[in-house]
Amino acid sequence: MNIEITPQILLGSVDAVASKSHAHRLLISAALSKRPAKVKISTTSQDIEATRQCLRQLKADIPVLDCRESGSTLRFLLPVAMVLKEEAVFLGSGRLPQRPISPLKEEMEAHGCVFTNQHRKKGDAEEICHIKGTMSGGIFTLPGNVSSQYITGLLFALPLLRENSQIRITSPLESRGYVDLTLDVLKDFGIEVYVEETEGCPTYKIKGRQQYLAPEEVTAEGDWSNTAFWVAAGVLSKGSGVICHKINPHSVQGDRQIFSLARRMGGIVLEKEQRILAMEAPLKGIHIDASAIPDLVPILAVMASVAKGTTYIHNAHRLRLKESDRLAAMYDCLSRVGADLIEEPGGLTITGVPRLKGGRVSGYNDHRIVMAMTIASIVSERPIIIEGAEAVNKSYPAFFEDFESLGGVYRVL
């Protein structure tokens, strides 16, 4: 689906969609629980449905788990499946089969698993790996600059084993907020994890033979990763601002940093209970360390494109391994609509211009690229055409409906 977006300011209010990061964790914990739980998720998406479907497939003797394009589903369930089963097959589509699973793969192999891959196709999906051998416990060693999803997957799985285990992080941990979110959910489900810290390098100590004990009801909280687009819309739009409801300002979600980053850039962002108000103000360039907030980089790049001065986004190497190479994608998209930026090996250097010019861009089959370039239309002189806008279904199927409710104007070409 290609869409043309007419420049308009956005005003009004919108409810935050359910956090897919939180929803993944609640669904997996509930599936592992010894007693039933009601998991309330206000909105769903392709990634959430991938996890839900895979958890159903886990009931098979030899489960075939189609993770679709969800990296979280794959990396969370690799260890979980192999403490429950002796054999499992993982499938994926889009860029997922090419996205890394090392060094988690090597750690699982060191604890009894054997990985193979015959690159077989099953419909639209491709085999990622065929694993045999139940995983044993012990000591797992990972660097801190790889995906936090590897750590989360192990944290889910290791309490179920007979042995005690440790996850040792050998360098300062990036994306710590996602691991903290996992620990919060595990605690709610009765799982104990002891954390020892040495110079920013945590060791997670997990007793074996634990049981997941679900509360009667759990609710996925509002999603800060997607709320970030409406915060940006508020600080880029002249007028009374954009209000985001049903969002927890005190969440442990790492992408809550959009609140402080927007303020550092000069935007007006206010909080009250479960609401955030974002209002227009002159923006300025800042230095941004993206190591803990890689998902915010696309929308931060849009904000920086019209901020006075220069913004430096660094420590963003892992963005090259997402649904798209997001550094290259944002450089291409913003360049095409008139921004002044340089693509660095691990980030972007962006010098603000008064207005963007508009133009035609690819959505790169990446939900965050599509949403970021949609918000870019607010500060564009002419329409922006986005190819492949249906990519928003991965995390936010109702994005364009909410965009329209705030005054956004678009048409399908």
Please identify every residue annotated as catalytic: 295
The candidate with the shortest Cα–Cα distance to 5, out of 390, 394, 376, 395, is 376
Return d(Cα 365, Cα 220) in angstroms, integer: 26
**Long-range contacts at 373-376 (CB < 8 A, ≥ 24 apart):** 373/302, 373/333, 373/337, 374/5, 374/229, 374/399, 374/400, 374/403, 374/408, 374/410, 375/229, 375/232, 375/233, 375/236, 375/299, 375/302, 376/302, 376/305, 376/333, 376/334, 376/337
Contact criterion met (CB below 8 Å) for 60 and 81 = no
Tell me how far apart the 2 most distant CA atoms of the chain are, in Å.
62
Report the relative pairing of strands 64-66 and 165-169 from DSSP bridges: unpaired
- DSSP code per residue over 363-378: -TT-HHHHHHHHHHGG
Q: Which one-letter amino acid corresponds to residue 107?
A: E
Instruction: Show the 3-state SS of 244-258.
Output: EECCCCCCCCHHHHH
Terminal-to-terminal C-alpha distance of the chain? 7
